[in-house]
Each structure stands twice: as C-alpha cells, then as structure tokens.
Structure 1
Amino acid sequence: MTIKPLADRVVIKMVEAEETTKSGIILTGSAKEKPEVAEVIAVGPGGMVDGKEVKMLVKVGDKVLTSKYAGTEVKVDGTQYTIVRQSDILAIVE
C-alpha cells in the first residue's frame, strides 16, 4: 500500500533519535525527545488551498524540520508515517 497526499500535504517519516548523547551517555526510551527531523516520503500536488495558490517547495528525499506535534500519524505496513501540511514544515535540512 502507498500513500498519495492531496493538496498541500506531505508524507514524512521521522528519522530515528540518537540513543546516546555526544558525551556517550546512553538514553532510555523515556528520556529520548520526540525527533523533529524527518525525511519526505511523498508530496502532494499543491494547487488551490483555501482560495490561495500553493506551490510545493519540498521534494521526495528532502530532510526537513517539523513542529514537534504537527500532523497526523498513520501506520502503513508496519511503518509509522506522519502527514503534515507544507506550512507545518519549518525548514529543509542540508
């Protein structure tokens, strides 16, 4: 099964959080922060959204920063994805 987003929506997959800190401390599951960096899996076509023309600025494969609690989480074939609006993406990571 594949997910094809509509309008200005983007399907992202969160990048796994680091399990150790830079100083070498191993973090337990509860101590890890929710990751904010994600990889773009699919991009909607853009177009007219709420009466305004929306041009999609992200593309498949981009690494992006998102708001911590943005979007809707879905599970497809055992993999967790998040569907967000392009406006919930804060930046592209290069």
Structure 2
Amino acid sequence: MNLRVHIDRLVVDEALLGHMRPAALRTAVEDALRRELARSGTPERLAKLGHLDAVAPAKLTPARHPGEGLATRLAATVGASLGIGTSAANTARHQKGALPS
C-alpha cells in the first residue's frame, strides 16, 4: 500500500510551538504520523477509504495526557481526519472521494 499525506497549510500558535523550530516540528510530525499510521489495523481501514483528494480542515486533537507533545497531537488529528486515529470514532471527518495527496 502506498500512502502519501500532504498538509497544505498548518497554522500553529506560537504559544503551542514553544521553543520548537518549524523544521523540528515538521520532522517530529512526520515521525509521529509514521507511528500513527503503523498501528495495527490501519492499512485495512485505509484500504476501505479508497482514494481521497482532501479531508475537511480539523482542529487539534486534545491532549490525551499531560505532557503529550504537539507533534503527537497533530498526527492524532490527521489520523482522526482519516478515520483511523485513536479518537477516530468521535472525530472522523473523512469524505468519500477525498485523500491528502
């Protein structure tokens, strides 16, 4: 299975970014997203979605525990938007015919 996720626009409040530089955030989000998409059962769920050109804009997933990193929360938000994240049951916003390319 090939999967390409492209985030067109990511707006992060400077207070959330803290001391992290944008390049470091990008790397951290890519790593966290890799982990999120590698979870058991994810390929099967994604295969059922088919091809998507886009998903609806999403708000940042709330922290599941104190100290949860911004990159992990962003990855969880992407997962939820695709209907595969741990909070996907409540926050899935995918639309048939739309996947980040």
Q: TM-score range by the shorter chain?
A: under 0.3
Decide which structure has greater helix share.
2
Normalised TM-score (structure 1): 0.26
- Structure that is richer in strand per residue: 1
Q: TM-score, normalised to structure 2's length?
A: 0.25
